[in-house]
Amino acid sequence: MQEGFADGCYSFMIDTNEPSDENISFTHPDFDPIWEAFAEAQAPFVVHVAVNGHYKAVSESFKNNGKTELELGGDAPAGELGLMTINSSAELFLSAMIFDGVFERHPKLRGISMEHGAFWLPSWLKALDYTASLFKRKREFVEAPSEVAKRHLKVSPFAGEPIGWIIENIGPDMLVYASDYPHPEGTADPIGKFEATMTNCDEATMDAFYHGNMEELMGIKL
């Protein structure tokens, strides 16, 4: 990491899970020097659908259903269930980062989820706080886990997702624009697809989505 930062790398991608059941979690204190290196460099860690530690969200048995699996093309997940669960590894990993106290130990650490979609964010934030409420007699939470997520994480949605609805439910500070160019998932007009669902967003929200939130994540100002 130090060599990479010295050579001009601005971030590194992290597997969203450890594929071996015998190994320790990436949230284990033994990995704190890695997270601290991100924080000291003011560089966000990146979780990406293509770097998910051989995570398999859908059992092969679901494909034994007597029908042909549909393909969207490009590098999109195969089948409807593949797309429905595209976020699963990131959701689990980021939940562990919060509940295992990684952000508490490294207050300056920031991260971004890329190409996991964003449709899951409203329910995930609610689930974090609901889970914390059930464990409140066993553990004292300094603040709501959803607030930790909002402060430390950004997410890039897919073109065509209901961005306005997501922002209405989680606020304007988590989503960052991404076109996925040159892959076909972004379509020929990602901006048009995004803005078709953002008709109630004011100028400040649009600015945050297109550049402000990413500037905050990267610690820069254009």
Q: What is the pLDDT of residues 110-133, one digit of tens each?
A: 999 999 999 999 999 999 999 999
Determine whether 210 is exposed, middle or buried from the number of CB atoms within 10 Å of its CB (0-12, 13-18, 19+).
Answer: middle
In a domain, 64, yes or no: no
In a domain, 60, yes or no: no
State the sign of the Cα–Cα–Cα–Cα dihedral 213, 43, 10, 128. negative
Residue ranges of alpha helices (H) inside the chain are 2-6, 32-40, 79-84, 88-99, 102-105, 121-134, 145-152, 163-170, 190-196, 203-207, 213-218
pLDDT confidence of 178, banded at 50, 70, 90?
very high
Under a CB-based contact definition with an 8 Å cutoff, are residues 203 and 210 in contact? Answer: no
Q: Which amino acid is at 219?
A: G
CA 59 from centroid of its chain's CA atoms: 23
In a domain, 66, yes or no: no
How far apart CA 113 and CA 197 sit, in angstroms, is 21
What is the span of the domain harbouring residue 133? 2-53+76-218
Q: Which amino acid is at 158?
A: F
Structure tokens of 150? Answer: 């909002």
State the sign of the Cα–Cα–Cα–Cα dihedral 6, 12, 14, 20. negative
State the first-to-last Cα distance of the chain, in angstroms, to the nearest integer. Answer: 26
- Tell me the average pLDDT across 198-204: 96
pLDDT tens track for 128-172 = 999 999 998 888 888 999 999 999 999 999 998 999 999 999 999
Q: Which amino acid is at 141?
A: F
The CATH number assigned to the domain holding 94 equals: 3.20.20.140
Structure tokens of 220? Answer: 């820069």
In a domain, 157, yes or no: yes
In a domain, 174, yes or no: yes
How far apart CA 157 and CA 149 sit, in angstroms, is 16
Q: Output phi, psi for 134, to 5 deg.
A: -75, -25
Q: What percent of the chain has pLDDT over 70?
A: 95
Count of structural domains, the chain: 1
Structure tokens of 156? Answer: 């890039």
Determine whether 30 is exposed, middle or buried from the number of CB atoms within 10 Å of its CB (0-12, 13-18, 19+).
Answer: exposed
pLDDT at 18: 74
pLDDT tens track for 62-100 = 777 777 766 655 556 666 777 777 788 899 999 999 999
In a domain, 177, yes or no: yes
Structure tokens of 131? Answer: 């889970």
Give the number of residues written for the chain. Answer: 222
In a domain, 58, yes or no: no
Give the C-alpha distances (Å, rounded to integers) separating 163 from 1, 90, 110, 190: 34, 19, 22, 12
In a domain, 71, yes or no: no
pLDDT at 173: 97
